[in-house]
Amino acid sequence: MKPFAFVFPGQGSQAVGMLDAWGDHPAVRATLAEASEALGEDIGHLIHEGPKEALALTTNTQPVMLVAGIAALRAWRAEGGAEPAVVAGHSLGEYSALVAAGSLTLAQAAPLVRFRAQAMQEAVPVGVGAMAAILGLDSAQVVEGCRQASESFGAGSAEVVEAVNFNDTAQTVIAGSKAAVDKACEMLTAMGAKRALPLPVSAPFHSSLMKPAADRLREKLAATAILAPRIPVVNNIDVAVESDPDRIRDALYRQAFGPVRWVECVRAIQARGIDSLVECGPGKVLAGLCKRIDAGLTGAALYDPATLADAKGLLP
């Protein structure tokens, strides 16, 4: 099998019943049992029954996406799938990547991402922060537009907006205080953006407003045993592969209030001679993004038995 990468999605791809197609697959059943014990609740029931509104709560979304990604990974391994040459994850997906690489156990990661989610939600009251996707504008222009929008409120203002997710060459997500995000959307549309689309999120993730959450997370990470990865993990914040546990902790800390440099992560994977990326977990968002970053890349999804078989077929 030719070398490939597993990439793990973040928030937004969750759906009620997203593991149902696996049926009673032993690897998936064991993953749900392990995560449920670690979280002290029946996470499988939440995923199967919902409701949608419950899954959309950040404190639930982050652990359920972690569990769904690891369930797909373990099913792949149980069905004889080869190991990836490198892994990466988008935002909270980086925790899934670290579990895949053996740096964290699922039992460690599930409560850790729930804590991360709670800290992020509590850092900025609902309605104070906002995020928006800017489509059809070069990322450098988005960065500049955010700078101008922030400065328009005057020196010393608490209003701030930043580019936080560099998803593909024509899609950049911005985040910050609601007034500043609204202002940036106006300015970026005037600069030529095709769309400035407000996102239905409850906090301005990956912006500097998340620094209080990151400080709480840093304490939690310091008390978490992290091992050197068995598989290289390309991180979001530095687009780097780290093996030292303290450097991994620091990258996770800074990632909470720093940008997801996804375009660069994909290109770093390409630089390793890899042109096949398999999105491990529900949805096809990352598989689609990689094709938009470089049409020469193969992007596949792995979220049920049928896509598992398809992914194997793509990787002779």
Residues taking part in catalysis: 91, 206
State both tokens at 144.
């500049």
Helix (H, G, I), strand (E, B) or coil at 273: coil
CB 18 within 8 A of CB 47: yes
Contacts for 213 with CB less than 8 Å, ≥ 6 apart:
116, 119, 120, 122, 123, 256, 257
CB 277 within 8 A of CB 287: yes
Helix (H, G, I), strand (E, B) or coil at 196: strand
**Count of H-run helices and E-run strands, the chain:** 13, 9
Closest Cα partner for 5 from 310, 303, 299, 313? 299
Pairing of strands 86-89, 5-8: parallel
Say how many C-beta atoms besides its own lie within 10 A of residue 245's C-beta.
16
